[in-house]
């Protein structure tokens, strides 16, 4: 049985209009159904899609939300929307039937109820063959290796990634564009605060780039497929490759000062590297290593993550994570034909090494478990398709 067959004809939040129906939804509906309802992840898809540049975004602690820049009709309505503009709702990967629509576009079908981690072709463990790339990477350095190889082989001419602001100890994430090896490596590694990499789209346009990779957390990787399905137009066209980062949550920037510093005396500018492997791991400049219980960090969960159902970056060409025993490898979920082509060609060129996902069965089991856990955050009152496969009443308030 498919997801669609397993569901009532129409969910509480309605569905996509009938094929003959016109898509009339604008900022007004987006504001009511996504932004103020708690579904908004802050992915900034609506911001880059707006042809009138009237959607602002604050990439700051406690914010990471879009807002309307024009005051004419108030915060909750848009004059351009009233005149027929619908780009923002077409771009939003939390509006109405976003999951099924992106699935249909990418895979020609909706996911099955038991496909909690989304549709995929292969799961492998990968790492960059080049030690320098590997050492810069968070896990196996696969994402950086992909970007470098794709730049060299003409798949892309730039990548929307995340840099760190300032010099040493500047742990504030900043979306930006990487167009060469040095920039790719400068952006490598994970920040566990939010970085709306989609916002680097404008910089890519200014640089005249036309073949982009979007690297982003799960919420961001649905932006392209939803835009393509709902025919946003030229905005989605330059996004050629979608690389996802598995994600159960991101934290508000205040975590550094309010928990790491105040309780543990760990100064932000002394943190060298972070990772999350069941606990929050912190390596300090002086060689010290600390672990902070994840439960303690929950109070700093970013608002936009609290109802997010997508752990496994289900709409990426290639999704990547660091769970499992093989901590120095990247767990790699290959979803699309393009993703498979890139991984196969990189293996043939010897720029990555791989071993079968079965080498770490615990990682795959954990991926499914965490995918189900995240999915159970999706509220009953929103589009029902997303909860397909979950036990009735399944809930996760983490
Ligand atoms: C907020 C967050 C939460 C995550 N949660 C999990 C998890 O629960 N389980 C799991 O298995 N994996 C998780 N990951 C993914 C994991 O940390 C690695 O990013 C992934 O395994 C790829 O490793 P790599 O060595 O191949 O990537 P690298 O070669 O190190 O490349 C990483 C890429 O991610 C980009 N990036 C870094 N930080 C951010 C950010 N905050 N926002 C957007 N882009 C960013 C970088 O610019 C770079 O392009 C998370 C990542 C992030 C950023
Ligand atoms: S989820 Fe993304 S596209 Fe949708 S309203 Fe929020 S920022 Fe905009
Ligand atoms: S949990 Fe991760 S994927 Fe979901 S909204 Fe938060 S940052 Fe995005």
239/210 Cα distance (integer angstroms): 8
Q: Does residue 391 lie within any of the structural domains? A: no
Q: Can you tell me the distance from the alpha carbon of 85 to that of 113, in angstroms, rounded to the nearest whole number?
A: 34
Q: Is residue 3 part of a domain?
A: no
Q: Cβ neighbours of residue 71 under 8 Å, at least 6 residues apart?
A: none
Say yes or no: 58 and 97 in one domain. Answer: yes
Q: How far is the CA of 388 from the centre of ligand 1 (A)?
A: 27
My answer on whether 294 and 364 are in the same domain is no
Residue 168: per-residue pLDDT: 62
Instruction: Answer yes or no: do 171 and 264 share one domain.
Output: no
Are both 168 and 96 inside the same structural domain? Answer: no
Are 95 and 64 part of one and the same domain? yes
Give domain status of residue 379, yes or no.
no
* Ligand 1 mutation pick, 134, 138, 223, max ligand atoms within 8 A of CB: 138
Task: CATH number of the domain at 281, please.
Answer: 3.10.450
**Domain assignment present for 396:** no
Domain boundary among 266, 300, 334: 300
Residue 244 β-bridge partners: 216, 319
pLDDT in tens, 334-353: 999 999 999 999 999 999 99
Token output for 186: 């400068």
Residues with CB under 6 A from ligand 3: 41, 194, 217-219, 247-250, 304-305, 308, 310
Question: Does residue 313 sit in the same domain as residue 233?
Answer: yes
CA of 362 to the centre of ligand 3 (A): 23
Q: Which residues, including other chains, have CB under 8 Å from residue 112's CB and lie 6 or more apart? A: 1, 2, 3, 389
Number of domains in the chain: 3
Q: Which of 305, 311, 315, 396 to mutate to test the pocket of ligand 3 (most atoms within 8 A of CB)?
A: 305
Q: Are residues 192 and 341 in the same domain?
A: yes
**Which residue ranges in the chain fall short of pLDDT 50?**
1-15, 18
Ligand 1 pocket member 162 (CB < 6 A): yes
Residue 69 located in a structural domain = yes
Q: Are 40 and 94 found together in one domain?
A: yes
> For ligand 2, which residues put their CB under 6 angstroms from it?
30, 34-35, 40-46, 66, 91-92, 94
Question: pTM value?
Answer: 0.95
Domain span at residue 290 reads 254-300
Any ligand 1 atom below 6 A from CB of 244: no
> Is the residue at 13 inside a domain?
no
**Domain co-membership, 223 together with 277:** no
Task: Kindly state whether residue 369 falls inside one of the protein's structural domains.
Answer: yes
| CATH code of 94's domain | 3.30.70.20
Task: Point out the ligand 2 atom lying closest to the alpha carbon of residue 92.
Answer: 3
Last residue of some domain: 114, 148, 173? 114
212 shares a domain with 83: no
Closest C-alpha residue for ligand 3 atom 8: 219
Q: CB of 332 closer than 6 A to ligand 1? A: no
The predicted structure's pLDDT at residue 195: 98
What is the CA 242 to chain-centroid distance, rounded? 10
274 Cα to the center of ligand 2, angstroms: 28
- Summarised one tens digit per residue, pLDDT across range 378-398 is 999 999 999 999 999 898 877
In a domain, 1, yes or no: no
SS3 per residue for the chain: CCCCCCCCCCCCCCCCCCCCCCCCCCHHHHHHHHHCCCCCCCCCHHHHHCCCCCEEECCCCCCCCEEECCCCCCCCCCHHHHCCCCHHHHHCCCCCCHHHHHHHHHHCCCCCCCCCCCCCCEEEEEEECCHHHHHHCCCCCHHHHHHHHHHHCCCCCEEEEEEECCCCCCCCEEEEEECCHHHHHHCCCCCCECCCHHHHHHHHHHCCCCCEEEEEEHHHHCHHHHHHHCCCCCCCCCEEEEEEECCCCCECCHHHHHHHHCCCCCCHHHEEEEEECCEEEEEECCCCEEEEEHHHHHHHECHHHCCCCCCCCCCCCEEEECCCCCCCCEEEEECCHHHHHHHHHHHHHCCEEEEEHHHCHHHHHHHHHHHHHHHCCCCCCCCHHHHCCCCCCCCCCC
Tell me the CA–centroid distance for residue 384 and ligand 2, in Å: 19
Residue with the smallest CA separation from ligand 3 atom 6 is 305
If asked whether residues 316 and 259 sit together in one domain, one would say no
pLDDT at 289: 97
pLDDT at 2: 40
Would you say the CB of residue 141 lies under 6 angstroms from ligand 1? Answer: yes
Among protein residues, the one with the nearest Cα to ligand 1's atom 12 is 321
Domain end position, chosen among 79, 114, 149 = 114
Same domain as 341, residue 316 = yes
């Amino acid at each position: 049985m498919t997801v669609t067959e397993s569901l009532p004809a129409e969910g509480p939040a309605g569905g996509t209009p009938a094929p003959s129906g016109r898509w009339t939804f604008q900022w007004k509906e987006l504001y009511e159904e996504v932004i103020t309802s708690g579904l908004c992840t802050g992915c900034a898809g609506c911001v880059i899609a707006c042809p009138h540049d009237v959607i602002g975004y604050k990439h700051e602690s406690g914010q990471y939300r879009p807002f309307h820049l024009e005051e004419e009709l108030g915060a909750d309505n848009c004059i351009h929307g009233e005149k027929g503009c619908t780009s923002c709702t077409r771009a939003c990967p939390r509006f109405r039937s976003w999951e099924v629509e992106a699935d249909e576009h990418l895979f020609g079908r909706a996911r099955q109820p038991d496909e909690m981690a989304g549709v995929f072709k292969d799961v492998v463990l990968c790492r960059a063959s080049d030690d320098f790339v590997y050492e810069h990477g968070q896990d196996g350095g696969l994402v950086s290796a992909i970007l470098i190889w794709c730049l060299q082989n003409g798949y892309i001419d730039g990548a929307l990634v995340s840099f760190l602001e300032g010099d040493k100890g500047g742990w504030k994430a900043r979306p930006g564009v990487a167009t060469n090896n040095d920039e790719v490596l400068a952006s490598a590694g994970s920040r566990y605060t939010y970085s709306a990499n989609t916002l680097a789209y404008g910089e890519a346009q200014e640089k005249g780039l036309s073949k982009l990779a979007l690297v982003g957390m799960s919420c961001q990787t649905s932006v392209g497929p939803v835009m393509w399905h709902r025919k946003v137009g030229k905005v989605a066209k330059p996004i050629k490759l979608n690389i996802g980062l598995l994600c159960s949550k991101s934290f508000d920037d205040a975590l550094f000062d309010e928990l790491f510093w105040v309780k543990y005396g760990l100064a932000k500018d002394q943190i060298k590297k972070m990772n999350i492997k069941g606990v929050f791991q912190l390596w300090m400049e002086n060689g010290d290593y600390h672990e902070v219980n994840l439960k303690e960090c929950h109070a700093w969960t970013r608002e936009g993550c609290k109802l997010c159902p997508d752990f496994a970056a289900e709409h990426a060409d290639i999704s990547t994570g660091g769970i499992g025993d093989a901590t120095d490898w990247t767990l790699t979920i290959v979803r699309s034909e393009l993703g498979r082509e890139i991984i196969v060609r990189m293996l043939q060129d010897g720029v990555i090494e791989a071993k079968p996902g079965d080498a770490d069965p615990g990682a795959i089991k954990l991926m499914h478990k965490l995918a189900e856990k995240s999915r159970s955050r999706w509220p009953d009152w929103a589009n029902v398709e997303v909860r397909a496969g979950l036990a009735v009443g399944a809930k996760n308030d983490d």
